[in-house]
Amino acid sequence: MNSLSALADFQADKLDIFLSRLQTIFAQMDQKYDEVAEAYGFKCRGCEDNCCLTRFYHHTYLEYLYVRLGFDKLDFPERKIILTRAVDVCRQVEMADKKGEPVRQMCPLNQRGMCSIYFYRPMICRMHGIPHELRKPGQPAFHGPGCGDFDKQCPDVSNVQFDRTPFYFEMAKLENEFKQAAGLTGRIKLTIAEMITCIGQGA
Ligand code: SF4
């Protein structure tokens, strides 16, 4: 039994509590992101270099389960379209990887430029775009850049701080608690296309 299928045995009422705590962390992230974006005067209006084309990996079971919750709320025909697209994206990526070619595939949840599960989207989809920092104990702070559109809109980057550390910390803490409660070890590494494919297989 793989670790995702083990999730099926986890009690629904207990899972609700974990997902509600995840929702609270996401709400805090969104609030901080909005504050920093406003301080910079940055507005994400969608762009050609769409971040939904980026091959993001997601590493927590809870984000997977939150995506699954959002996906399950879509109507059947929409789910079917998205699942077909997800399988195709996985196939295209696998082929490109085998050839050693770079690949940019639109996230299967992006429909007509909009995220189909916006409320349930994972952490990186919420925080991408704005320059940030990350502080790991005993290491110098890591500074990450903003996206291309950010650089165009805000060429004179002032020193507005967007420290992702507390959010990463809270996410890791919650995920560890969840894994302990569910008897899971290790961590996942999945793109959205891979997540949707797993969901389609009943995981
Ligand atoms: S989950 Fe939503 S926001 Fe994240 S990459 Fe996919 S479409 Fe974009």
Contact 76, 38 (CB under 8 A): no
Q: How far is the CA of 56 from the centre of ligand 1 (A)?
A: 9
Ligand 1 pocket member 154 (CB < 6 A): no
Ligand 1 pocket member 52 (CB < 6 A): yes
Query: pLDDT at position 80, please?
Result: 97
Ligand 1 pocket member 105 (CB < 6 A): no
Tens place of pLDDT for every residue, the chain, 203 residues? Answer: 457 877 877 888 899 999 999 999 999 999 999 999 999 999 988 777 789 999 999 999 999 999 999 999 999 999 999 999 999 999 999 999 999 999 999 999 999 889 999 999 999 999 999 999 999 989 999 999 999 999 999 987 767 889 999 999 999 999 999 999 999 988 899 999 999 999 998 87
> How far is the first Cα of the chain from the last one, in angstroms, to the nearest whole number?
11
Contact 20, 121 (CB under 8 A): no
DSSP string, 164-190: -HHHHHHHHHHHHHHHHHHT--S---B
Could you count the other beta carbons within 10 Å of the beta carbon of residue 143? 9
d(CA 50, CA 116): 15
3-state SS, residue 135:
coil
d(CA 194, CA 171): 21
3-state SS, residue 141:
coil
Contact 57, 191 (CB under 8 A): yes
Contact 3, 203 (CB under 8 A): no
Query: pLDDT at position 44, please?
Result: 87
Ligand 1 pocket member 44 (CB < 6 A): no
